[in-house]
Amino acid sequence: MATPKTPIIAFLIFLLFSTPTTSTATKKPVRGHLPCKEMVFYFHDVLFNGQNHDNATSAIVGSPQWGNKTTMATPFSFGDLVIFDDPITLDNNFHGPSIGRAQGMYLYDQRSIYGAWLAFSFLFNSSAYIGTLNFVGADPLMNKTRDISIVGGTGDFFMTRGIATLMTDSFEGEVYFRLRVDIKLYECWQ
Ligand SMILES: *[C@@H]1O[C@H](CO)[C@@H](O)[C@H](O)[C@H]1NC(C)=O
Ligand SMILES: *[C@@H]1O[C@H](CO)[C@@H](O)[C@H](O)[C@H]1NC(C)=O
Ligand SMILES: *[C@@H]1O[C@H](CO)[C@@H](O)[C@H](O)[C@H]1NC(C)=O
Ligand SMILES: *[C@@H]1O[C@H](CO)[C@@H](O)[C@H](O)[C@H]1NC(C)=O
């Protein structure tokens, strides 16, 4: 009975010791991906501050117990949740022609430095593009550039994925900021 089992045990021992070596040896090489599409947009956010109701494009909808909905909480706006519907333009001119809207939310989730978490969509409605791009990710605001994920898209951006590099292009107190968004798509289906 012992004889037929021996090769099996030997094989199991072989598997046990060979597996780690094999998986290291077959580790996938890091490929240098190139984007299939690159675009640059700006979006403009005017936060409601109690007086600018007609012009505001965003509003604090949730604040911590120690804050309120017209002023960012201290410290570091922690706990504030903002909903926005911001115009998207091709250059940094707020009054330039808008090619769509950036709609969604950002929430401040860092207690010891300015940092937010973003979840929003670009809704394009122009002769250049029709469709949406969906963004999500952490936004450490003190970084000059921040990368967030583009997790999908529809219409002209069917099934896409990529990275958006955000840059604060202008910042006027708590009321107005402008973001430059450098989009690199690495998966394009059309
Ligand atoms: C809204 O913007 C217009 C033009 O930029 C300006 O004249 C007006 O004073 C603003 N209104 C408020 C409430 O900020
Ligand atoms: C909101 O909080 C700020 C800062 O604490 C305060 O100056 C302001 O008066 C408050 N506004 C309202 C409407 O309670
Ligand atoms: C898109 O633009 C067209 C033409 O300006 C307009 O009729 C339509 O309502 C817009 N759709 C959305 C979802 O904004
Ligand atoms: C923010 O900056 C730090 C330091 O330069 C860097 O290590 C980090 O990757 C940056 N984070 C993002 C999300 O870009």
pLDDT tens, 45-57? 999 999 999 999 9
Query: Which residue has the CA at smallest separation from atom 11 of ligand 4?
Result: 146
Does 134 reside within a domain?
Answer: yes
Strands 98-108 and 58-62: unpaired
pTM of the model: 0.80
Question: Can you give the pLDDT at residue 23?
Answer: 47
**Structural tokens at position 107:** 């929430």
Does 92 reside within a domain?
Answer: yes
Q: Which residues pair with 102 in a beta bridge?
A: 86, 122
Q: Would you put residue 18 in left (φ > 0), alpha (ψ -120 to 50) or beta?
A: alpha
The ligand 4 atom at the shortest distance from the C-alpha of residue 137 is: 13
Number of domains in the chain: 1
126 lines ligand 1 (CB under 6 A): no
Q: Which residues pair with 46 in a beta bridge?
A: 176
Does 16 reside within a domain?
Answer: no
Q: Give yes or no for residue 94 having a pLDDT over 50.
A: yes
147 lines ligand 4 (CB under 6 A): yes
Helix (H) or strand (E) holding 12: helix 2-25
DSSP string, 82-136: EEEEEEEESSS-TTSPEEEEEEEEEEE--SSS--EEEEEEEEEESSS-EEEEEEE
70 lines ligand 4 (CB under 6 A): no
Q: Is the dihedral of CA 96, 98, 99, 100 positive or negative?
A: positive
pLDDT band at 15 (very low <50, low <70, confident <90, very high): very low
Does 67 reside within a domain?
Answer: yes
Does 146 reside within a domain?
Answer: yes
Question: Can you give the pLDDT at residue 173?
Answer: 84
Digit-coded pLDDT (tens) for 109-167: 999 999 999 999 999 999 989 999 999 999 999 999 999 999 999 999 999 999 999 99
Does 29 reside within a domain?
Answer: no
Digit-coded pLDDT (tens) for 22-72: 445 566 655 668 999 999 999 999 999 999 999 999 999 999 999 999 999
CATH code of 49's domain: 2.40.480.10
**Structural tokens at position 127:** 């002769």
Q: Give yes or no for residue 16 having a pLDDT over 50.
A: no
Tell me, in angstroms, the distance from the centre of ligand 1 to residue 181's CA: 26
Does 163 reside within a domain?
Answer: yes
Question: Can you give the pLDDT at residue 13?
Answer: 47
The ligand that comes nearest to the alpha carbon of residue 63 is 2
52 lines ligand 1 (CB under 6 A): yes
Supply the range of the domain harboring residue 179.
41-187
Does 7 reside within a domain?
Answer: no
Tell me, in angstroms, the distance from the centre of ligand 4 to residue 141's CA: 10
